[in-house]
Structure 1
């Protein structure tokens, strides 16, 4: 079993005697150990970040940007080894791991190019009013297990670019690649600017209530987001919460089935469905339902699901047993209620948390497979006859991360997309994101946004400066 990596506090590796196991989801067995930090380690990390903050906040934007670009260079140089680590703990095939790391590098460079504006509200003989944006202080980042390198990048890099210092706690399921990212970054940052802690048993709760932390950024489930919001209330921390989604897509009767099927397949099953903004509920007009369902099922049946060690693998396992058990439970419930499985539907009993890509029809709202976020490789297809009814059903969820409309009539599709109750609406696409466009959830899918200048400003405090003349 691999030795535990070290957390980094105040620019130094800190050896921690207590460790916990990290599971390889392709085997369902531990392959490494990770340090188990204590509340004392968290206090030390926060104290280091607070000491480093004044100098880092005073650094110019160009200096911060130059350091972010150097971090991107370091990750680029280490990407092959980092991809192996990422695949081992998360389960995704090596090509997907390299894709995630490549996206993270691109996001680092895009973030380094951002510059918060100074706005002039009034400038006359009597008064000049300026609006400035200043860093907040210490940011706590709590990251999930589905994209450990990319989402850590989304949290850390804008926080640093805005002039904050950071303490990051990765998911206990996938801590190792994030620890490696922090190690690579620390070679190009002053001590204390970026610190890491790892652990189980309430460390995240200690972070969200810590009086030395000014903001929490979290990506994960809605129930955990609610707990974070409650725990942060006593100190009125700033929050950015990207939470659960149960994204709906509506296929209109004029859609080109042959053209959209491979795109819908990719947007539903990428990362084995373990993506917040994946397409998770597919409403298809009755005139196209059977044809589209069969095309998607054929693609699912042809897909190669396997371990990252197999270069032929296109899709990996579920990341952890709890998620694996949930997907099996949802499939079993759909089967019991008359769901028709055109592909997949049951694990084959092999070692690890593998579940086949699954397409299920004859399901509808009110069934768990439709109402709950599956976060796995299982796509329910719901037949509809009236577009307004489909839109109402798509919007009925308490979640509102993303949604999409699929049609050959772009103008009509755009009009319907704007009526979706979600943070991002796509036309003839789903789940695509970019560093320049804001991304965040409506309703219970989150608070705040990420990316672009909108995301950068989430890490800054507005200050109005009034100059009387």
Structure 2
């Protein structure tokens, strides 16, 4: 049996008891994921609560050592993990794809293990000293999405374990195998019961949100579901970190060199075939450089290969689910009905397999069109012409979401604009680049709470003041 087959065998169940998980590009069944129930969740949470104190008592150094071993295990099986991700989620092996995601899992674990938080002296005078410490919360529930299932799972899991919590993971029902594989590899080095997957349906997710014995919920997904979690968690006051996606704007300033920025702009839009919360979703380009920017994006869209995730030549893949394919198709059709121009793409690519939609550039479109106002989450970008920078800034800030944004052009001028954008992160001459040491989180309807680095560790711990 191949290494990929061995890893799949370790995480899947039989056809009679599991749920078939399809290859995103072909529909072929990859394996059968377990189907856990609310009763399974309750049992798992109880076990996690029992095991968490011993895990916390091991201290930061020992927990960090074991996390490094878990990262080494992922590195040793990175190719097998990448193939599972490529087939289940659809992202290609190469580029910023499945191999990138698998490697990122190990890198983010190591960063969480190595980031230190020292007690902070708040006040000191003769005879008195007050210190701020961070202690474990207890049980953290990690509810992940389907677009970067393994990596975003690690963003939730690694800091939570590092700070001494036990973790119960609820993967997306569309991509459970990637998460099951990551947890399987990590659990080869972790104590039993401190990291567990509950692969259930929406009923299980709802129970997590209201569970009286879960101390913290980390959720990445839609704003609508985030609001449901807030409502459900209110009675037991579980702490929340919510990353709820975004409709990220980009503003290209007059004088920007289209050829210089084109490739970074393209991948800021189309990373993971546009299925990234912090991807660029709507692009405002000054009239003086509009045609050049559109031409450069068109050339890249038509020359960047799209295909099955395991095809070494592919750099773009399918939409992960039929539902997402339908959303993208609807938004493009609506844009055409409104009189927008399809510069390239604009249609399905059935010859490539299931759920493929050609890389699409849309012009002659304005705010108010669904493709601009809604998060399309696919390989489509509306390019909006502007002449007045003040107007572009107003448009960029008009969305209810505020996860990421970017400004392109002269760095000094771009910084002035960036300071006026309502967003958790604003990039200059790049978009969507993340650093495990730099905090990341949204504002407005994109959620609240920070991940990564010291800020991320503090978000999965309880502040405790000790005064002597």
Partner of 1:57: 56
**How far 1:241 sits from its partner (Å)?**
0.4
Residues 4, 32 of structure 1: 8 Å contact kept: no
Unaligned runs of 5+ residues in structure 2 are none
Cα separation, 2, equivalents of 1:213 and 1:7 = 28
> Deviation string for 1:98-134 (max 9, x for gaps)?
1111112111111111122201122222322111111
Cα separation, 2, equivalents of 1:15 and 1:112 = 36
Going from structure 1 to structure 2, the CA distance change for 1:7 and 1:211 (only over 3 Å counts) comes to farther
Cα separation, 2, equivalents of 1:348 and 1:151 = 29
SS at match of 2:192: coil
**How far 1:349 sits from its partner (Å)?**
3.0
Partner of 2:299: 298
Q: How does 1:435-450 map to 2 (within 5 A)?
A: 435-450=436-451
Cα separation, 2, equivalents of 1:390 and 1:273 = 22
SS at match of 1:280: strand
Going from structure 1 to structure 2, the CA distance change for 1:192 and 1:439 (only over 3 Å counts) comes to same
TM-score for the superposition, normalised by structure 2: 0.96
**How far 1:177 sits from its partner (Å)?**
1.4
Alignment length, in residue pairs?
461
Residues 362, 381 of structure 2: 8 Å contact kept: yes
Residues 13, 32 of structure 2: 8 Å contact kept: no
In terms of mean alpha carbon deviation, does 124-133 or 252-261 score higher? 124-133
Partner of 2:178: 177
Q: How does 1:324-339 map to 2 (within 5 A)?
A: 324-339=325-340
Partner of 2:375: 373
1:25 matched to 2:24: yes
Partner of 2:149: 148
**How far 1:7 sits from its partner (Å)?**
9.4
Going from structure 1 to structure 2, the CA distance change for 1:203 and 1:60 (only over 3 Å counts) comes to same
Cα separation, 2, equivalents of 1:176 and 1:455 = 26
Residues 417, 425 of structure 1: 8 Å contact kept: yes
Residues 15, 32 of structure 2: 8 Å contact kept: no
SS at match of 2:121: strand
Unaligned runs of 5+ residues in structure 1 are none
**How far 1:435 sits from its partner (Å)?**
0.6
1:356 matched to 2:358: yes
Q: How does 1:451-466 map to 2 (within 5 A)?
A: 451-466=452-467
**How far 1:23 sits from its partner (Å)?**
1.7
TM-score for the superposition, normalised by structure 1: 0.95
Going from structure 1 to structure 2, the CA distance change for 1:67 and 1:211 (only over 3 Å counts) comes to same
Partner of 1:42: 41
In terms of mean alpha carbon deviation, does 379-388 or 85-94 score higher? 85-94
Cα separation, 2, equivalents of 1:149 and 1:440 = 19
Residues 16, 35 of structure 1: 8 Å contact kept: no
**How far 1:32 sits from its partner (Å)?**
1.9
